[in-house]
Amino acid sequence: MPSGSDITEEAVSGTSPDGPVPPAETGSRAAPRRPGRLRRTGALARREALRTGLAVVSGIALALAFPPYDLWPLSLVAVAALSLLTRGRTVRQGAWTGFAFGLPFFLILLKWLHVVGWDAVVGLSVAEALFVTLLGAALAGTSRLPAWPVWAACLWVAQEWARDRLPFGGFPWGRLAFANTGSPFTPLAALGGAPLVTFAVALTGALLAACAATLWGLREKGSLSRAVPALEAFGLAAAVTLAGAVVPVPTKADDTVDIAVVQGNVQQPGMDFLGRPMRILDNHATATEKLAADIKAGRAKKPDLVIWPENSSDLDPFQYPQAYDRIDEAVKSIGVPVLVGALVDHPTKKGYVFNEGIVWDPKKGPGASYTKQHPVPFGEYVPFREQLSKIITRFQRVPRDFYPGDHTGVLNVGPAKLGDVICFEVAYDEIVHDTVDAGARALVIQTNNATYGRTGQPEQQLAMSKLRAVEHGRAVVTAATSGISAVVAPDGKVTHQIPEFTQGVVSARIPLRDETTLADRVGAAPEWALAIVGLLSCAAAVVGGRRGRTKDEKGQQ
């Protein structure tokens, strides 16, 4: 082979004895042309298709764990699947897997919003799925750490912590705890509230994933000793699942009270459930008067108090005398205090209303009240109304903004000190906790689900009431205009219930309790602690990754 010194002048000048040599393509041999972006995207899609499809199926499985389907074991399967699909992946790959998991989950869970519009379903689902996208990225990043199932469970709590607060006060629908209101994990709510239930469910699912991953690794070179970690993971998962069985759920009553819950019903579900003015108010007043007639005839026992639902008065009784008189007439007929739900105009801010529960006495008339503290954004008030209403004309159907209250809903209704929580507020830990902490001996959830009748939303909300009963050791009474009205015992069992779109009255004796649970005493501390541990695990993964790259670079030098 000729050496470099043998290169002729002709070769250098690009000529040859036979003529000029055509110039070679610059870098054609040293660096092959990279495939186009479209081709690379297609290759990536084909490579990730199976994993993405499994993530979609897993997200659907998680949705089926929630009411109205109530297949709670699927919550464990879904968590395990997401853990396996993100294990050992890059952060970017984990993020995509998380989004592919989260979007179908929320689309099915929140499909009841189609009453407002399918664009609302998709928009909210995408927004909520972004939190699961971050979860998927974090799961991938921490999957190489020792004891990764623990960090995975903490990250689930951190994701729910964020969704509970951001944006516009958050939207905590779809928490793992709300799919496990009748499972072996439910009693754990009495120790650490909904966050502890979520942690236990997520830890169990992640441990099952660790067990499956270990067994899969033994498919070629299996031995009994190498199967020990799988057995340990399965044993820990079983122990966490059964831990709730040893948690005491206090139910002993310090006192009792006889109540009647009136479900007046509406004429039709959907956005136009109100019908003509005074119709819904008249339904509830008439049902109350029927109860009064049954009491007078000896067919029913007289209650100590009566509970009407949210929006049971469709007109402001302080602005419309006919509404005031109709309520007063019904209350006097029953002869006991009635907790009335009504929209009341703000006294000084035009265009604002209060969503209130008002204690109406048969002798004194209206008295103490509670105003909903957490109005629903885009449902009960429109952020950036002036700008958004020009773009989305549907917001004009929310003509007035609800003004938030500034105190808890502890009210003396006859002989009982009740904690009033209005509609979606039952999903927010801090509102319910503060109400019990202020002295509520039982909880009342005044709600109006007529917009979302027969969509699964009432069942999802009732499940939250069941969890709150165990969490705080309180009886929970749900009063709904069109259903589902129900009475939940402190152990989370539904004792009385009225079907949807049925006018009726539930009469029950409920326990009043003063003792608080450990969850009441520790408050949000478990949630903050678990969320912080999850974030610290992400930091540890980042630091560990940098150290690994530094060692590789030193080894190459």
**Residue 273 phi/psi, 5° resolution?**
-70, -20
Q: What tokens appear for 472 in the block?
A: 């705080």
Pairing of strands 352-361, 338-345: antiparallel
Answer whether 124's CB lies under 8 Å from 78's CB: no
What's the rounded Cα separation, in Å, for the pair 488 and 470? 10
- Residue tagged active-site, from 154, 211, 423, 538: 423
* 154 in catalytic set: no
- Residue tagged active-site, from 160, 310, 356, 425: 310
Classified as helix, coil or strand, 219 is coil
- Residue tagged active-site, from 128, 211, 356, 372: 372
For residue 212, what are the contacts with CB-CB under 8 A and spacing of at least 6? Answer: 80, 84
What's the rounded Cα separation, in Å, for the pair 143 and 542? 12
Residue type, 466: K
Q: What tokens appear for 171 in the block?
A: 């939207």
What per-residue string of b and e applies to 466-486 under the rule 16 or more CB within 10 Å gives b? bbbbbbbbbbbbbbbbbbbbb
Query: Phi-psi category of 46—alpha, beta or left, where left has phi over 0 and alpha has psi -120 to 50?
Result: alpha
What's the rounded Cα separation, in Å, for the pair 145 and 301? 63
Pairing of strands 365-371, 485-488: unpaired
* 9 in catalytic set: no
End-to-end CA, the chain? 33
What's the rounded Cα separation, in Å, for the pair 345 and 354? 6
For residue 101, what are the contacts with CB-CB under 8 A and spacing of at least 6? Answer: 55, 56, 58, 59, 62, 78, 82, 85, 132, 136
Question: What DSSP state is assigned to residue 408?
Answer: -
Closest alpha carbon to 196 in 211, 205, 183, 186: 186
Q: Report which secondary-structure segment, H or E, holds 125.
A: helix 118-142
Question: What DSSP state is assigned to residue 382?
Answer: -
Classified as helix, coil or strand, 367 is strand
Estimate the crossing angle of helix 457-472 against helix 189-217, to 10 degrees: 110
Closest alpha carbon to 234 in 223, 244, 242: 242
**Residue 48 phi/psi, 5° resolution?**
-100, 0
Q: What tokens appear for 134 in the block?
A: 């971050």
* Tokens 């949630």 sit on residue: 527
Which residues are known catalytic residues? 310, 372, 423
